[in-house]
Amino acid sequence: MKVAVAGTGYVGLVTAVCLAEIGHTVICVDVDQEKIKMLQSLKSPIYEKNLEEFMKKNKDHIFYTLDYKKAYQEAEIIFIGVGTPERYDGSANLDYVYHVCEQIKGSVTADKTIVIKSTVPIGTNDEVEKFLNKESKIHFSVASNPEFLAQGTAVHDTLYASRIVVGTNDEKSKKIMEQLYLPLTKEPYNVPYLSMNRRSAEMVKYASNDFLALKISYINEIANFCEKVGANIDEVTRGMSYDSRIGNQFLKAGIGYGGSCFPKDTKALHWLGKSLDCELKTVNATIEINRIQKLKLAQKVKEDFPNLKGKKAAVLGLSFKPGTDDLREAPSLVNIDFLLDYGVNVSVYDPVALDKFKSSYKRKIKYCTTIDEAIQDCDFAFIMTEWKEIKEYDLNHYRKYMKTPFLYDGRNCYSIEAAKKAKIKYYSIGRPS
């Protein structure tokens, strides 16, 4: 099938590449000329495992253009995978979605199926279909097809998904979507295909993401409580994980979630609930717990160093999680600002996100390409991302290179025993020092 994809970010580009991988001809549309040039040279604008490999592998089936009119006119199906960032009040900004809809409406001359891949509030697909068909001589069918990829494993998560969720309100778009995804439901992928109405599909996305965010915030609260009562969160979660009703995923204590999904989606659902006079108290608690948790290390360092002015600190890890260069809502951001506001001299290290951070961050800090360099003569160090390079770092080097080896680990990268053996002052989340 001929497919057009609007937007070449995480959702759009990964969707396009994976659709090409299963045999479809795909054309990607973006308004950013430099990004399109980069894609045409088979370079990915985002750091994502296997993405460039699949771009090169499917170069004869996937194309990149600024010419949206031709792309939308020739496509049988048009995916919308543009951003839906949060507004100041927490609601989802749908301006980019409707901008693409306006372009589609002004470009095509035959009936089309439009697929909303972007995360949008419940009811948006209905409103988009009304917008497209208003005063139109052709007919637009709209399908909801939320994504469930995780950054760092996005390609694998799309091809070998836990499920494909498609919401349709008419038989034509239902059959088209079944045909589109038929290859993924067979060997070697065998992905379950779930068909439902559009509002249910929209709700599945929010309910899933907000539940996972809730699980993270819950275990972080339990970790904080463990510190008060002398329990070890690692042992507690190990005991919990054997219960099949709970499972072992998203039980790792730390300094909170970040990224492009959980923060935005929890706020959007909370805002939507309030607007409908149906406050989601657990979602609201999730948001508040995560906001506080991000500064857990900052609170601890203030106890150990009452006067931070003039101190030197290293921040190890900038991206919100390993395997990506995405800095959106990363805990590193608020902690670096905290340190700078208290007059701390900050050096930072990240194996992937350093250049991206440097291009967007305006305050004065030192950028380092090795951990050794970052911690040199530091009074203390924060660990913000559990990169392999950090987890496998020789703990003896903290004592060797730092002025005082005070290490505040927001991702519980090291064992308590190893830290004691290395003779460093080690604080982690929910575990005895």
- Whichever domain contains 246, its CATH number is 1.10.1040.10
Rounded to the nearest 10 degrees, the angle between the axes of helix 262-275 and helix 198-229 is 110
C-alpha Rg value of the chain to the nearest Å:
23
Q: What tens digit of pLDDT does each residue of 324-361 get?
A: 999 999 999 999 999 999 999 999 999 999 999 999 99
Domain region containing 256 = 205-293
Same domain for 183 and 114: yes
- Both tokens assigned to 36: 């399109």
Whether the pLDDT of residue 289 is over 90: the answer is: yes
Same domain for 278 and 306: no
Whether the pLDDT of residue 369 is over 90: the answer is: yes
Mean pLDDT, the chain, as a whole number? 97
Same domain for 142 and 26: yes
Same domain for 231 and 85: no
Q: Which of 245, 278, 293 is the last residue of a domain?
A: 293
Same domain for 169 and 102: yes
| Domain assignment present for 406 | yes
| Domain assignment present for 432 | no
| Domain assignment present for 400 | yes
List C-alpha distances in Å: 254 to 196, 225, 381, 384, 428: 36, 13, 16, 9, 8
When pLDDT is cut at 50, 70 and 90, the band that residue 288 belongs to is: very high
Q: Which of 196, 220, 235 is the last residue of a domain?
A: 196
pLDDT at position 313 is 98
Same domain for 165 and 220: no
When pLDDT is cut at 50, 70 and 90, the band that residue 433 belongs to is: confident
Would you list the DSSP string of 301-350? HHHH-S--TT-EEEEE--SSSTT----TT-HHHHHHHHHHHTT-EEEEE-
**Mind telling me the catalytic residues?**
261
Same domain for 236 and 172: no
The share of the chain scoring above pLDDT 70, in percent, equals: 100
Domains: count for the chain = 3
| Domain assignment present for 118 | yes
d(CA 42, CA 155): 16
The share of the chain scoring above pLDDT 90, in percent, equals: 98
| Domain assignment present for 433 | no
Same domain for 304 and 280: no
Same domain for 161 and 58: yes
Question: Looking at residue 24, which CATH number applies to its domain?
Answer: 3.40.50.720
Q: Which of 260, 275, 293 is the last residue of a domain?
A: 293
Same domain for 227 and 188: no
Same domain for 177 and 237: no
When pLDDT is cut at 50, 70 and 90, the band that residue 260 belongs to is: confident
Same domain for 335 and 262: no
